[in-house]
Amino acid sequence: MTTHIGASHLPRSMASKRIPFFLSAILALCLLASAPAMAQTLRVMTFNVRLPVESDGADRWEARRALMAEMVKREHPDLIGTQELFEQQGDDLVARLPQYAWFGRGRRGGGDGDEHMGVFYRKDRLRVLATGDFWLSDTPEVVGSISWGNLYPRMVTWARFQRIADGATFVFYNTHLPYRAEDEPARTRGAALILERLRQLPADEPIILAGDFNTAPDSPTHTLLTATLTDAWLAAPRHHGPPATFHNFTGKADLRIDWILFRGLQAKSARTVTTHRRGRYPSDHFPVVVDFEFPAR
């Protein structure tokens, strides 16, 4: 016959040890229950980091890089799409943030000395399955190609990622559209080309498009893109920080030109990050951070 012994039948010292054990067991069950929800979260940042030019004076790269690395460390995104990134800047950041790796290609096809659509990712959370680039022009596969009156080559760097935690995959596009007021037709043609490429992906594959779009949310470019994708800033139920993102190193932003658009995910929160120290900002743009959840599988 098996005898079941309750805590009241145990010696006092043994009974007292049972209480911490039960508390530990309950805590472990709670953590296990919350683990799937935590695993579903994907934190994405878009950030125009401002190219390194000596004419920025007190706001030159060497004066900003440590603060930028501290900001990224505090926000701990899984994935960052950057614009205006030069190779030196990318290498500076991963030297300070060894949990990240980055990839990208100069917009004219070279390395340092030109802008990259640099993509940073957490090596412990994401696995790169494929990467590529294409140019926003009449000849998208021609490296450095320019069309539609653009002053500079404009491009997309993309990747298909897999989350290490659960194997979920998604595609990430990162871009930087032209900046002049008269460039809206070129921006809309670039947006149309991006949508054409996205239509070639599996219909059920989650997509995130991040970038500096250099135009307002009431523009034809935004209207075109959001006919297919969703603007995370508008969709997220929780917001923090000012909507506008370009502040020209003043901290007073007046234009919301940095967006994260998506499909096949849920935007849970969106915020602009206004980190600064004694009047110094990491860039002339505020980064935008969105927390996404994947649909239940």
pLDDT band (50, 70, 90) for residue 295: confident
Per-residue pLDDT tens digits for 170-205: 999 999 999 999 999 999 999 999 999 999 999 999
Q: Across all residues in the chain, what is the average pLDDT?
A: 89
d(C-alpha 257, C-alpha 247), whole Å? 11
What is the H or E stretch that residue 116 is in?
none
Rounded to 5 degrees, φ, ψ at 199 are -65, -15
Q: What pLDDT sits at residue 9?
A: 35
Burial readout 67-101 (b: 16 or more C-beta within 10 A, e: otherwise): bbbebbeebebbbbbbbbbbbebbebbbeebeebe
From the list 286, 254, 266, 253, the residue with the least C-alpha distance to 208 is 266
d(C-alpha 179, C-alpha 176), whole Å? 9
Per-residue pLDDT tens digits for 75-89: 999 999 999 999 999
Domains and CATH numbers, the chain: 44-293 (3.60.10.10)
Q: What pLDDT sits at residue 256?
A: 98
d(C-alpha 114, C-alpha 134), whole Å? 16
Residue keyed to tokens 């935690």: 165
Residue 17 has pLDDT above 70, yes or no: no
- Contact status, residue 130 vs residue 159, Cβ threshold 8 Å: yes
The residue-averaged pLDDT of 249-259 equals: 97
E-strand ranges in the chain read 41-48, 79-83, 100-103, 119-122, 126-135, 155-163, 169-176, 207-212, 230-231, 238-240, 258-263, 266-272, 288-293
Supply the pTM of this predicted model.
Answer: 0.87
Residue 2 has pLDDT above 90, yes or no: no
Residue 8 has pLDDT above 70, yes or no: no
Q: What pLDDT sits at residue 77?
A: 98
Q: What pLDDT sits at residue 3?
A: 33
